[in-house]
């Protein structure tokens, strides 16, 4: 497995295509949730790219600087290809994303919008619920915060 983090401006067209294809496969097709995947925020984001040994993109996160989604830095679009989930690579994605934020921006609070059934997963990485629960694209979500300071 290979992990790299690139700003949108550093991503190739093929990489961006493959990131979006993976996100659509999981969030739109698997979860049967039609929504506007391309929201304009990718252009301002850092993208964690997880590749398998053949070089195919099998996981990703999107890291948004302060002021784009929240007043804090945000992690979103956390996804692993279905046939690799048994390896529990989501934990690697979160660990690397949090480490990158600390390295790039220093100790910062990090906010995310978790699908509610994943609250315990994010809690293993130090996130706690803010108490704000809502439907996003028809799926229950919970706002969560990681206080690193």
CATH number assigned to the domain comprising residue 87:
3.40.630.30
Number of domains within the chain? 1
Residue 53 lies in a domain: yes
Q: Mind listing the pLDDT tens digit for each residue in 38-77?
A: 899 999 999 999 999 999 999 999 999 999 999 999 999 9
Q: What is the pTM of this model?
A: 0.93
Spatial distance between the Cα atoms of 86 and 133, rounded to a whole number of angstroms: 28
- Domain with 28, as residue range(s), is 2-106
Residue 123 lies in a domain: no
pLDDT band per the 50, 70, 90 thresholds, residue 37: confident
Per-residue confidence (pLDDT) for residue 28, from 0 to 100? 87
Residue 119 lies in a domain: no
Residue 50 lies in a domain: yes
Q: Mind listing the pLDDT tens digit for each residue in 10-28?
A: 999 999 999 999 999 998 8
Residue listed under structure tokens 């690799």: 84
Alpha-carbon 30 to chain mean position: 17
Backbone angles phi, psi at 53, to 5 degrees: -65, -25
């Amino acid at each position: 497995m290979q992990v790299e983090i690139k700003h949108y401006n550093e991503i190739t067209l093929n990489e961006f295509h493959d990131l979006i294809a993976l996100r659509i496969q999981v969030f739109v097709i698997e979860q049967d949730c039609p929504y506007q995947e391309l929201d304009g925020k990718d252009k301002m984001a850092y993208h964690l790219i997880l590749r398998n040994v053949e070089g195919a993109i099998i996981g990703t996160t999107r890291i948004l600087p302060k002021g784009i989604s929240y007043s804090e830095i945000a992690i979103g679009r956390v996804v692993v290809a279905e046939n690799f989930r048994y390896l529990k690579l989501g934990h690697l994605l979160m660990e690397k994303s949090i480490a990158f934020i600390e390295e790039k921006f220093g100790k910062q609070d990090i906010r995310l919008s978790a699908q509610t059934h994943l609250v315990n997963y994010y809690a293993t990485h130090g996130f706690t619920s803010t108490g704000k629960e809502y439907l996003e694209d028809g799926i229950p979500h919970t706002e969560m915060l990681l206080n690193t300071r």
